[in-house]
């Protein structure tokens, strides 16, 4: 490949990346904000996700569904940030139960409850497997249905159901230990 062809290919790829950024950057920021609870962290996640994309070698996973790929990358990068935090505040388990129940008639923002509850959930999710945390975030923070999550994750709906059930139980146990430590 000549230098001119390489430059032309690079410009085309840059233009494609620019379009992907315009189309999906706000979705990445919203997802990151819902997980981290901080706009500064959400902006860091946006930068991290797109820098990783620019630095990728080989084929791009964006050809089929750039939105899903970037959304999952944002959630994973956000969970990495949450995992790095050390401060924990406690909340009564009774306040968290409605959030973990996942009522269908409520919006994802309403499901998140107070900032104290969100922080407890974030800290507990940070201790779980990436797959469990990601599925929980997609369901309860982002509002996706179990069928949609299964499709995004390349797994069965029953697997998503089982992982969500186990994750909710682990969250109840983890957050319950904070309540027990206060008493």
Walk along the chain (183 residues) in steps of 10 and give the mean pLDDT of each run: 40 72 93 89 94 74 76 89 60 46 48 64 85 90 91 92 93 70 46
What integer pLDDT is reported at residue 130 of this predicted model?
Answer: 86
Task: Report all structural domains of the chain as residue ranges with CATH numbers, in order of start.
Answer: 3-84 (1.10.1740), 93-182 (1.10.10.10)
Q: What's the token pair of residue 111? A: 């499901």
Longest dimension (CA), the chain: 71
In angstroms, the CA 150 to CA 146 distance is 6
Q: Are 40 and 8 in contact (CB under 8 A)?
A: no
What integer pLDDT is reported at residue 153 of this predicted model?
Answer: 86
Query: Phi and psi at residue 154, in whole multiples of 5°?
Result: 70, 40
Q: What is the pTM of this model?
A: 0.61
Q: What's the token pair of residue 90? A: 């406690």
Rg (CA), the chain: 19
What integer pLDDT is reported at residue 13 of this predicted model?
Answer: 59
């Amino acid at each position: 490949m000549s230098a001119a062809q390489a430059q032309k290919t690079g410009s085309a790829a840059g233009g494609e990346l620019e379009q992907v950024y315009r189309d999906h950057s706000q979705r990445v920021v919203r997802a990151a904000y819902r997980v981290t609870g901080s706009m500064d962290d959400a902006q860091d996640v946006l930068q991290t996700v797109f820098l990783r994309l620019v630095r990728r070698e080989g084929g791009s996973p964006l050809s089929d569904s750039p939105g899903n790929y970037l959304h999952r990358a944002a959630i994973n990068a956000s969970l990495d940030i949450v995992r790095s935090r050390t401060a924990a505040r406690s909340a009564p388990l009774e306040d968290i139960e409605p959030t973990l129940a996942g009522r269908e008639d409520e919006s994802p923002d309403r499901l998140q409850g107070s900032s104290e509850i969100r922080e407890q959930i974030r800290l507990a999710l940070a201790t779980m497997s990436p797959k469990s945390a990601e599925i929980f975030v997609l369901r309860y923070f982002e509002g996706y249905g179990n069928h949609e999550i299964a499709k995004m994750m390349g797994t069965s709906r029953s697997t998503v159901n089982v992982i969500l059930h186990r994750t909710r139980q682990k969250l109840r146990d983890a957050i319950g230990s904070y309540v027990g430590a206060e008493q």
